[in-house]
Every structure is written in structure tokens, then in C-alpha cells.
Amino acid sequence: MQQFTATVSGHREVAPNLVRVNLTAPPRMLRGAAAGQFVFVRASNADSHEPYLRRPYSLAAFDEEAGTLALLVRVVGRGSRWIAERVEGEELDVLGPLGSGFKLDERTRHLLVVIGGERQSHLATVLPLLAPAAAREVTITILIEADTAANLPPPSLLPPEVEYQTATRDGSAGHRGSALDFAKNLLPWADQVLAAGDDPFLLRLKQICAKLYPLPKVQAAVERSMACAVGVCLGCAVETQGTGYARACVEGPVFDLDRLALLS
Amino acid sequence: MQQFTATVSGHREVAPNLVRVNLTAPPRMLRGAAAGQFVFVRASNADSHEPYLRRPYSLAAFDEEAGTLALLVRVVGRGSRWIAERVEGEELDVLGPLGSGFKLDERTRHLLVVIGGERQSHLATVLPLLAPAAAREVTITILIEADTAANLPPPSLLPPEVEYQTATRDGSAGHRGSALDFAKNLLPWADQVLAAGDDPFLLRLKQICAKLYPLPKVQAAVERSMACAVGVCLGCAVETQGTGYARACVEGPVFDLDRLALLS
Amino acid sequence: MVKQGKVVETVNLSVELAPRNPHGLRLRNPVMVASGTFGYGSEYAKLVDVHRLGAIICKGTTLERRDGNIGPRTAETAAGMLNAIGLQNRGVDWLLREHAPRWAKWKTPVIVNIAAESVAEYADLAYQLDGREGVAGIEVNISCPNVAGGNVPFGSSPTAAAEVTAAVRRASSLPLIIKLSPNVADIASIAAAVEAAGADAVSLINTVLGMAIDVQRRRPMLGNTFGGLSGPAIKPIALRLVYQVAQAVSIPIIGIGGIASTSDALEFLMAGATAVQVGSASFTNPHAALNLLDGLERWLLVAGVAEVREIVGAALPK
Amino acid sequence: MVKQGKVVETVNLSVELAPRNPHGLRLRNPVMVASGTFGYGSEYAKLVDVHRLGAIICKGTTLERRDGNIGPRTAETAAGMLNAIGLQNRGVDWLLREHAPRWAKWKTPVIVNIAAESVAEYADLAYQLDGREGVAGIEVNISCPNVAGGNVPFGSSPTAAAEVTAAVRRASSLPLIIKLSPNVADIASIAAAVEAAGADAVSLINTVLGMAIDVQRRRPMLGNTFGGLSGPAIKPIALRLVYQVAQAVSIPIIGIGGIASTSDALEFLMAGATAVQVGSASFTNPHAALNLLDGLERWLLVAGVAEVREIVGAALPK
Ligand SMILES: Cc1cc2nc3c(=O)[nH]c(=O)nc-3n(C[C@H](O)[C@H](O)[C@H](O)COP(=O)(O)OP(=O)(O)OC[C@H]3O[C@@H](n4cnc5c(N)ncnc54)[C@H](O)[C@@H]3O)c2cc1C
Ligand SMILES: Cc1cc2nc3c(=O)[nH]c(=O)nc-3n(C[C@H](O)[C@H](O)[C@H](O)COP(=O)(O)OP(=O)(O)OC[C@H]3O[C@@H](n4cnc5c(N)ncnc54)[C@H](O)[C@@H]3O)c2cc1C
Ligand SMILES: Cc1cc2nc3c(=O)[nH]c(=O)nc-3n(C[C@H](O)[C@H](O)[C@H](O)COP(=O)(O)O)c2cc1C
Ligand SMILES: Cc1cc2nc3c(=O)[nH]c(=O)nc-3n(C[C@H](O)[C@H](O)[C@H](O)COP(=O)(O)O)c2cc1C
Ligand code: FES
Ligand code: FES
């Protein structure tokens, strides 16, 4: 973990209200970063108390050597809007990388990624591991859902090798319904499953998995509102099965799905 | 008084930390405006509560017909910085014109303007009346003081006919000392005196006037912190001689100096 | 989890603030402007269509003219401001002479906020307002120091608060709103006491006592040392107090404190307020109250809520 | 009017927080970090040179492990935040085993913040901390509900607050700081009571009780309904309380509440605080406390103040 000033090198709206912000960081800031980890970004000028708290964003891309990183920002409120509006040359106050990322098993050949819930930017959590995995000849299928076609992240964000299956609640693109409707069939195929979404989505995934044998190995990235993101405030509590609360910002955001006690 | 959206048409640093912001307003917003009146400007994005209150700025220039106005902004804190940083095309949320301005007597032939105190932007209060007065062949002398040469507003802000006498506390330009050091000699010359500055400055001016006979006719623009600027909060109280408190935002900011009970 | 509403075509925004009072106090909508932040209603009238407001509460009025405090009287704080005006006003006679006749012609009811330093003065004020054209109700500011009671504000003890309420109640039959102070340990007991003493409604909160220091001059920023904190900064406190009072009284509650947007107003309604007052937000945006009103109507339409009353207290424990 | 200082070359920043205590509690500088916002000191150590801090107050510790509240536990508010963590911690044994030995090697003193639901538990905690290497003092959070006393917080009555203070005082000779709650009507009387009962210092304020409502879901935002408000929003309230307490006690006061900058800290010192704690500002900027410290030293140099003590209480009535 470091605190550093990152400079915006470009930003681009990849879908309505979904902005990719490219950043350059000083050397050695991204050492040991992993997909699923995040940065904690100040979303105001230094002389303003509003918004008061930093905002967590997954590393949507990073290059340790080049000192570059990218965020995939869904504009939902004033913090995200402020970040998404920064133009080339402006600086961001960044803390990170933070938390525990996804751990891709070296033996995995069939990787299933399941992204759901209200915000499609959850996809950011896995983006950095896709190209390296594809290069190691891992077959990757991503299932993703959105309310409507316009809110689906464009396939251009993904390496070409990835199979991208979409579902929309209104049927305007892909399957009409939930990404979890396919999951049942694909879970047995996968050696490893990575998931990201809100709690109700992850709970439904867990319920589907519970009916399968052998139990699929699922790592899931959760989201919590965060005040400190370094483990001191205990605000980002995630209830676990029998071991009390864990911190989304330190032990998470990525957990083994079977460790989580989720609420709908 | 109107509430309107003004568009920045340009801004220029006329001295260190002194920025002239040019604005265009919708038609009919500046009807009846006068020098010494002010506008009340929101100094944040609409989605931020910081800074909470609007900021008062004198009309440093206005053209009723053209729908243009200008502010002369001394950068002293975050509100003034925010306003001074707005670039061409950006919009400001403006309330005004507000308050009571200077009333130049038609018979005045010799006009003395005395500007002092900690902020040289007090000069803005008289700027709009100088050129019209000069055109009516009023002889105008301005006395102004600053801590040091760099903080003196450049004479380029003034019509060429105006005589501009400067004083600096460190002697780096003009007379070493206060603008009030000349005032004694010039006050008897003037038919009318306009002054602007902080209370201690205006008090000293008043004390000097008190020793003269006949008593010079002085109108003075005061400054108060303002919450509403429309007369409802009663926060901008100005103590008067014997008639209780007056409101700087309605009865003022320009008062007859002899009406004011000033504190040092 | 987002509640799905039925389809509604119009929303009934009207609310009754004095159901126990024979006169009643029915507002067309629940959006009012708070005392001390909207003058006597006419100052903003050039800018804002004041006739669309639910009600206007005028600046605090005392029996006699008051000059108010020495300055500075206001200071900006993080997401808020401090004020120590000192109840500057010209007294109740002036109010009744200069303003009440105009108010009598308005569609929007005007409620007179009163302040005093003794129970007898409160009663006297209420008596003078009783039955006067243009005065739709009385809001009693009980945050004032009780001169006979060691300068402890009336609003900080249930007994003193109830005494003021009962005295005002006897002196006037007008709809009677008691405005509660947040600077107390147990607001619910004070609310219950004024309800029992005859209040038609309670409004809360008045400002929170605070201060700021001028570091360069090494002295308090305000001429009066202490001042009242208002604005978005106090909203979480005000909301909690409304939520607590809602569980202690059955008369209508008027929520006040940092309300600037539709969503702020909805929070207060869901916490148990029947109506809201917009205070210092008008300074930042004179249209705050009306924008909020428009947004409230739209929100209720989209949410399929036909009567604003339906969401009052929606977030209270079931 | 700006005070002109004499020329000074160095500034003495050290302060004594327990002048009446035989151990004393001398800090190299008056800038501490507040309980619950800096963990156990090690979490931020990679980022910040914690050894430059005046002192560290660790997360509130109870006798037994506590799991804490159901989420959401935090919510952002205007210029601040609400928290309802529920005192999640692993208990005092774990603290003494896992952390105290490391603290014993640090240059910066660590003060243990304790919380309990009965006087006996408070005393037991103090007894267990007494004389343990690495524990420089005790800060007692008296905002916790008194289970035997109808769940009213200890901090809301002078008697209950004094009882806790006296019990802790008997159980341990460590420097003893009582942390006061702002959710009271008369903080000065509580401060005076804990001073009389043996407190070495008081710290204030703990968070202000508040809430937020999730309008879409029509229910309280926090799992616990109510939470504590912190951040710049509460600074004016905290400053006023410090100013009031400074006129009621003669033991040192530690100012807390919305402190994020040098000028905030100066306001508290001038209001009568001998030291300050930086709380949630560390979340926004982990370097807030140290930046503030650097700025404080520079400010004092420029103002010609040789000892930070000289400005303590500078804004109090003469
Ligand atoms: C570990 C982690 C990684 C994240 N990574 C990304 C990412 O890569 N890209 C991205 O766009 N977002 C990401 N988020 C979510 C992002 O942090 C929030 O959307 C952002 O903080 C909202 O700030 P705001 O000021 O714009 O919205 P606010 O004004 O705070 O909120 C606006 C609305 O959005 C809702 N909202 C706020 N936070 C969340 C949330 N976490 N989930 C769902 N709704 C929310 C609020 O309830 C409110 O209705 C991540 C969150 C976490 C915890
Ligand atoms: C009627 C009126 C007309 C004005 N016209 C102009 C103008 O034409 N040009 C201009 O530059 N300014 C003018 N001012 C002053 C201007 O409004 C303030 O400088 C501004 O509000 C400061 O905002 P800020 O957020 O930048 O500073 P803040 O962060 O609020 O304050 C920064 C520092 O400046 C000091 N400060 C704040 N307000 C004033 C003030 N009124 N006078 C002196 N010091 C102050 C504060 O005490 C603080 O130390 C006018 C004020 C009034 C009342
Ligand atoms: C400048 C100012 C003057 C006020 N004057 C009064 C008053 O005379 N009587 C009163 O009961 N409340 C008065 N108040 C309190 C407000 O009516 C309101 O209760 C408080 O400001 C909180 O609401 P807000 O956060 O929306 O401003 C005043 C508030 C301000 C800011
Ligand atoms: C997340 C969080 C947890 C806290 N936990 C404790 C605690 O365990 N014990 C305690 O006495 N105070 C606790 N506090 C209160 C702070 O120590 C401090 O008194 C308060 O936040 C006000 O200071 P601030 O405005 O600088 O944050 C906590 C505050 C926050 C924000
Ligand atoms: S956000 Fe503070 S502990 Fe995780
Ligand atoms: S600023 Fe409100 S009355 Fe003048």
C-alpha cells in the first residue's frame, strides 16, 4: 500500500455512464498488484470536505513496469462523477493497491467469470487477469447481466479469446433474464469460478452452487461502503460463516464464496 | 434582483492573485445596476455543500445593453479561488445586482476616491462609475494603498483621465505609508468623496474628516460577511450612529460615512 | 428491495398540522420555509413564487424592538454556518402593522415565530397575535434563555417547556407549534411534555450550539462567542431527533435541519415528519424550497404514492 | 489586529497531559490520533511515520471479544460520516498479548481506549491494563450504555460518569483520560464531576448521535439505525464544548472533533485544549495528523510563539 499522485493520461466513455480513466503513477507504486485489488481515490479538491470519504475503485488494468493503471468508473453519484470528469493532466490522490485480489489457480484450464448485480463495472475486478490467463491457454467464459443492452460493458474491453455471454432483464440484448440462468450449465464445466456483484446476486449464485456436486470453487468479490480501506475503521464488515466479521478492505474484497454468510 | 446563469467569457490575472473574470448574462438581468452594487455568486458545483455560502463580489464593470459584467476577484480562500479558476464557457450561478451603490452627485466636479485596507479589490466598487464620470469632465483622483507594490491594482484598470496615487506600506511603490497620508490635503479639494475598505481604514478616514471644515461628503462601501445578501438573515449588521443596525446587503454596502459607527 | 409503486396520476400533497385545533392548519403542501431564513416573506418574493410554498415562518418576533448582537454575526463552517443574530426585530406591533395585513391577502399561510425571556412575555405575544388577520399560527422558539430561571433555555427542561406551552395555549386559540432545541440530552421527554401541555405540533430542530475561532486574532469569530449551527452539517442530528420524537408523540412533527433537496425532505418525512422547513439552504439557493417541492411531487408520482401522508414515518420501527 | 510575535528559533511542542499523576503523560507534541480511526497503530505504519505522532489511542477495547453491529456500519454525510461499528474488538487479553509488547518498543506512547457496560467491567479492564508494558495510559469511553442504569449512557449524568471515573482510578494508577460524550445538555458539570473523581484529563468529543435514511429502501441507512457523526461537520459543536469545559475544569483537555488541518488544531488549542486528536480525517488523508503537526510548528515559529502551551486557551474570556 502506498499513497501517490496519479496523473490522468486519458479518459473515454466506453458505455453510457461508464468511463475508463487511464492513469500514470510514479515508479514502484503498483508492486505486487493483483486483479480484484482496488485503489482508494479522493474525489474532491484538497480544500473541500465534500464528498468527505474517498471512493474505492478496482484496478481495471495495471502495468507494474510502465507505472500505468486504469479505472472503470460507473457514474452513479457525485464522487464517481468528479473522478470521471478529470481530464488529461489532472492529478488524483490515490491510496493503494489495497485488499486481497483473485487467486487464479495455475492448474485452471476452464475459467468461468460471473458478473451481476446493479452495476456492470463489477467486471473491472477481473479485467487485469484475463489477458494473462488467455495467454496461458485458459479457456475463459464470462457471463454478465444488465438491466438493458446499453448498460452492458462493450466486448472491446476484453481480450478476443474470451467468450462473452450476456443477459439483459428487458431482453434488449443476449438472453432475457439473469446471467445466473446459464450458470447452472456452465458451473460443472469450470475448474474455477470468479464472481463479482452485489450481495443478493452472490447469494443466488451460492444457492445455485450448493445444489451441485462437486461444489464449484468460487472466489467472489464483494462490495461494501468503505471509510478507511486500510482495516482500521471496521466499517466494511462482511459476515462470514461462523468466524464473525471480516473486513472487505483487507481480508477481501475477494473471498471464497463458501466463507460468506450473505443476506439478500 | 434576479437569479441568473452567467457564462465566463474570459479571465485574466491583472496582478498576483487578482483575477478579472468577464461574464455574459441573459438580457435584462442588470437593469438599473450601479457602481458599488454587488452580485452573490455560488462558489461550488451544484452537488457540493462546500463552500456552503455564496460569495459577494462588486460589479467591477457592467453593460446593461450588452448583458456583460466583470468581477475583480482577489484570491484569498477557496471560494475566490474556485471562481477565479472558472474558464471560458463555464457557468456561474449569480444573484444580483444587490444592495445600494454609490450615488454620484451631478454637480460633482472634483471626485476623490480613497481605497484602503487589506484587499485592493475594494477598487472594484468604484470602477464602473469612473469612465462615465470622466466623460462628464469630472476630475478624478484615486488614492490607493497596499502592503507592497505587487499588490497594487495596475493603472490599466482605470480610464486614462484618472489620476492614480499609490502608497505602499513597505515603500516599494509610490508613497511609503498609507493612502490616508495624502487624504488630508486632497479632501478639501474634493466636492465628493467615495471610499471603500475595511472598517479600521474607514474609521481612520472618518477621524481625518472629522477635523475638517466643512465636513467632506463621503460615501463609503463597507464589507461584511454575508449569508443571504437579500436582507433576511440580518447577519451583515452595520452599526449606525444612533439608528441601530443597518444591513450591508440592502441599505449598504454604500453608506454615508457619517452614518456609520465604526470599530477599529 | 426498492419498493414498486402502483401507478398514480396525481399526488395529494396537502397536510394538516393542527388536527386537534378547531381552526386547523391545513397546508397545500408540506414544504415550508424556516424562521430567520426567509424574512417576512416579501424579500424573496421578487425571485421566488412564494405563493407555492406550504407555509412561511417569519423571523422571530419579540414584544419590543430588539437591536440584536454585535457582529460578526455569521461565520461559514464545513457544510454549514453559524449565526448569532440576537433576535433583531422591530417588535410585534410593527409586525402586525406592517406585515400581517399583506399576509392576509396571500394564499400561503404565514406562521409567526415568537421569542421571549419569560413565560408572561410569551403569553402576552400569543395574546396579541390571537385572532389577527394574516396570522395563521404561532411557532414558539423555546431555545431562548429563561431570565428568571438562571438563563437556562426554556427548551432544555420538560417543565419549563410545558409551562411556556400551557401559557401560550391559554392566551391564544391559534394553531400552536412548539419549536424544540437540539441542545438537550433527552428531546423525547420535552416533546411529550409540550404535547401534554397543549401543543398542536412540534417543529425541530432549532440550531445546534457551536462556535468558531479566528486563529489570526486569537478570539471567537462571532461577536457573541457562541452561535447556532445550521445547514447540511446538522442534518444527521436533526433526523435522529425527529426519529426519536416521532416515537414519543402523536401530534404532527415538522422536520428542520439541513434540508436542501428532495431526498433530504424524504428522509425527514420517512423519519416521521408530516412537513419540513427549509432554512439556510435558501441562502445558497433561493429556489431550494420550491425545487424540493417539485422534486417531491415527481418522486411520489414515480414511486406510486398517491398521498404524501403515506410515507410519513415509513422508516420508523414497525 | 494580527498579533505580532517575537522572533523564535525553535518551538517547544511538548505537553503534559497528566500533571497530577505520579507517572505523568508527557507527549513530544500535542497531535494524537483518535480511537477507532487508527486501529492499533500498525495498520497505517507502512504509509505514515507513526513515531512522529504525539500519541496513539487504540480502538476501543472491551473485556471480552465483541463481534460488532450488523452492517451497513458507515454512511457518508455532508462534510462527515456516521459510524455504528458496535465496538468490534477481540478483547483486552488479545490486545495485551498481540499489541502491547510491540508498543513497548515504540517512541510514541499508546493509550488504550476502554469501553464497558458496567462500572465493575470498567474497573476490571483498568486493573488488567495497570502496569503493563506498552500501555501509557487509559482513555475511558463513557458514551457506552449503562446496562444496569436503563441503558442510559454513563456519559450523560455527572453521577454515573464520576462513578466510572472513581472505579477506574482505584483500579489503576495509569494516566486516566475520561472521554466525554457531546449528547448531553450540560457537559461542564460532567467534566467537573470526573475531574473531582480523579480524572487526569478529559478528551472531547466523542461522536454526535445521528442517523441517515435510505430513501429508496425507506429504512435507516445503518444496520444499527443510529450512528455517531464525526468529521468537519461537528467541529463547531466540539469547539464550543471544549470552550465550555475549559471554563469548568483545570485538568488538561484534549480536543477532538472534525480536526483536519493546522488551523482546526489551533482553534481547539485556543479554545483551551492542551492537545488534539485527529479522527476520521485520517481516512480522507492518512497524513492528516502529521501534516497538521508540521503546519503547527511552522505557524508557531512564524507567530513567534516559543511554547505551544502559550496559545492554549488564548481565545477564552480574559
Ligand atoms: C472494493 C470496491 C471496488 C469497487 N470498484 C468499482 C469499479 O471498479 N468501478 C465502479 O464504477 N465502481 C466501483 N465500486 C463502487 C464505487 O466505489 C461506488 O460506485 C462509488 O463509491 C460511488 O460514489 P459516488 O459518490 O459516485 O456515489 P454516491 O453519491 O456515494 O452514491 C450514489 C448512489 O450510488 C449508490 N452506491 C454508492 N456506492 C455503491 C456501491 N458500492 N455499490 C452500489 N451502489 C452504490 C448509493 O447508494 C447511491 O444511491 C467499488 C466499490 C468497492 C467497495
Ligand atoms: C459587498 C461585498 C463586495 C465585495 N467585493 C469584492 C470584490 O469585488 N473583489 C474581491 O476580491 N472581494 C470582494 N469582496 C470580498 C469577497 O467576498 C471575499 O474575499 C470572499 O468572500 C472570500 O471568499 P473565500 O472563500 O475565497 O475566502 P474564505 O475562505 O471565506 O476566507 C479566506 C480568508 O479571507 C478572509 N476574508 C473572507 N472574507 C473577507 C472579506 N470580506 N474581507 C476581508 N477578508 C476576508 C477570511 O477571514 C479568511 O482569512 C466583497 C465582499 C463584500 C461583502
Ligand atoms: C440566520 C438565521 C436566523 C435564524 N433565526 C431564527 C429565529 O429568529 N427563530 C427561530 O426559531 N429560528 C431561527 N433560526 C433557525 C432556523 O429556523 C432553523 O431552525 C435552523 O437554521 C436549522 O435549519 P437549517 O439547517 O435548514 O438552516 C435561524 C437560522 C438562521 C440560519
Ligand atoms: C469508525 C469510527 C470508530 C470509532 N471508534 C471509537 C471507539 O472505539 N472508541 C471511542 O472512544 N471513540 C471512537 N470513535 C470516535 C472518535 O475517536 C472521535 O471521538 C470522533 O470520531 C470525533 O472525531 P473526528 O471528527 O475527528 O472523527 C470512532 C470514530 C469513528 C469514525
Ligand atoms: S473500510 Fe475501514 S476497515 Fe475496511
Ligand atoms: S447578508 Fe443576510 S441580511 Fe445581509
Nearest residue to B200 via CA among B243, B263, B135, B120:
B263
Alpha-carbon distance of C174 to C169, in angstroms, equals 8
D31-33 and D275-278 strand pairing: parallel
* Mean pLDDT score, A7-21: 93
What are the CA-CA distances from residue B109 to residues A55, B217, B258 (Å)?
63, 13, 22
Question: For residue A184, what pLDDT is reported?
Answer: 84
pLDDT tens profile B186-212:
999 999 999 999 999 999 999 999 998
Q: What is the distance in A from the centroid of ligand 3 to the CA of C284?
A: 14
CB of A177 closer than 8 Å to CB of A166: no
Q: Kindly state if the Cβ of A219 falls inside 6 Å of ligand 1.
A: no
CB of D265 closer than 8 Å to CB of D245: no
Determine the residue of chain A that is closest to C78 in CA distance. Answer: A49
Mean pLDDT of chain D: 95
Rounded to a whole number of angstroms, the distance from the CA of C62 to the nearest CA of chain D is 25
Rounded to a whole number of angstroms, the distance from the CA of D224 to the nearest CA of chain B is 26
Burial class of residue A34, CB neighbours in 10 A (0-12, 13-18, 19+): middle
Res. B184 pLDDT band, cuts 50 70 90: confident
Q: Which residue has the higher pLDDT, B54 or A17?
A: B54
Q: Kindly state if the Cβ of A78 falls inside 6 Å of ligand 1.
A: yes
Mean pLDDT of chain B: 93
Nearest residue to A119 via CA among A201, A226, A239:
A201
Q: Chain centroid to CA D289: how far?
A: 13
Question: For residue D2, what pLDDT is reported?
Answer: 42
CB of C265 closer than 8 Å to CB of C296: yes
* Mean pLDDT score, B5-29: 93
- Report the neighbours of C using a cutoff of 3 or more CB pairs below 8 angstroms: A, B, D
Contact residues, chain B, for C83 at CB < 8 Å:
227, 233, 235
Q: What is the distance in A from the centroid of ligand 4 to the CA of D61?
A: 13
Question: For residue C5, what pLDDT is reported?
Answer: 57
Assessment of whether the complete model's pTM goes beyond 0.95:
yes
Burial class of residue C186, CB neighbours in 10 A (0-12, 13-18, 19+): middle
pLDDT tens profile B54-68:
999 999 999 999 999
Rounded to a whole number of angstroms, the distance from the CA of A84 to the nearest CA of chain B is 15
Res. B1 pLDDT band, cuts 50 70 90: confident
Each residue of C159-183: b (16+ CB within 10 Å) or e? ebbbbbbbbbbebbebbbbbbbbbb
Question: For residue D4, what pLDDT is reported?
Answer: 52
CB of B99 closer than 8 Å to CB of B250: yes
What are the CA-CA distances from residue A7 to residues A22, A67, D15, D74 (Å)?
8, 11, 41, 30
Q: Among residues of chain A, what percentage have pLDDT more than 70? A: 100
* pLDDT beyond 50 at A1: yes
Contact residues, chain A, for C78 at CB < 8 Å:
49
* Mean pLDDT score, A206-215: 90
Contact C231 B52 (CB under 8 A): yes
Nearest residue to D75 via CA among D196, D262, D219, D189:
D219
Give the list of residues 6+ apart from residue B30 with CB closer than 8 angstroms, or none: B59, B62, B63, B64, B67, B69, B97
pLDDT tens profile C285-297:
999 999 999 999 9
Query: Which helix (H) or strand (E) covers residue D120, if one does?
Result: helix D119-129
Half-sphere exposure of A187 (CA within 13 A, CB side): 23
Burial class of residue B165, CB neighbours in 10 A (0-12, 13-18, 19+): middle
Question: For residue B151, what pLDDT is reported?
Answer: 87
Residue identified by cell 486519458 is A10
Give the list of residues 6+ apart from residue C226 with CB closer than 8 angstroms, or none: C84, C209, C210, C211, C220, D240
Question: For residue C4, what pLDDT is reported?
Answer: 53
CB of C248 closer than 8 Å to CB of C192: yes
Q: Which residue has the higher pLDDT, A48 or A91?
A: A91
* pLDDT beyond 60 at C1: no
Question: Which residues of C are marked as active site?
Answer: 144
Res. B82 pLDDT band, cuts 50 70 90: very high
3-state SS class at A62: strand
Question: For residue D8, what pLDDT is reported?
Answer: 81
* pLDDT beyond 70 at C6: no
Nearest by CB to D215, from C219, C236, C270: name it: C270
Q: What is the distance in A from the centroid of ligand 4 to the CA of C6?
A: 43
Nearest by CB to C81, from B42, B53, B231: name it: B53
Nearest residue to C157 via CA among C183, C138, C196, C118:
C183
Contact D73 A2 (CB under 8 A): no
- Computed on alpha carbons and rounded to an integer, the radius of gyration of chain C in Å comes to 19
- Chain A: residues touching B (Cβ < 8 Å): 44-45, 47-50, 78, 81
Bridge partners of D209?
A: D228
* pLDDT beyond 80 at D1: no
Nearest residue to C208 via CA among C250, C239, C168, C254:
C239
Alpha-carbon distance of D263 to D276, in angstroms, equals 12
Mean pLDDT of chain A: 93
Contact residues, chain C, for A47 at CB < 8 Å:
none
pLDDT tens profile A147-188:
888 888 999 999 999 999 999 999 998 999 998 988 888 999
* pLDDT beyond 60 at C2: no
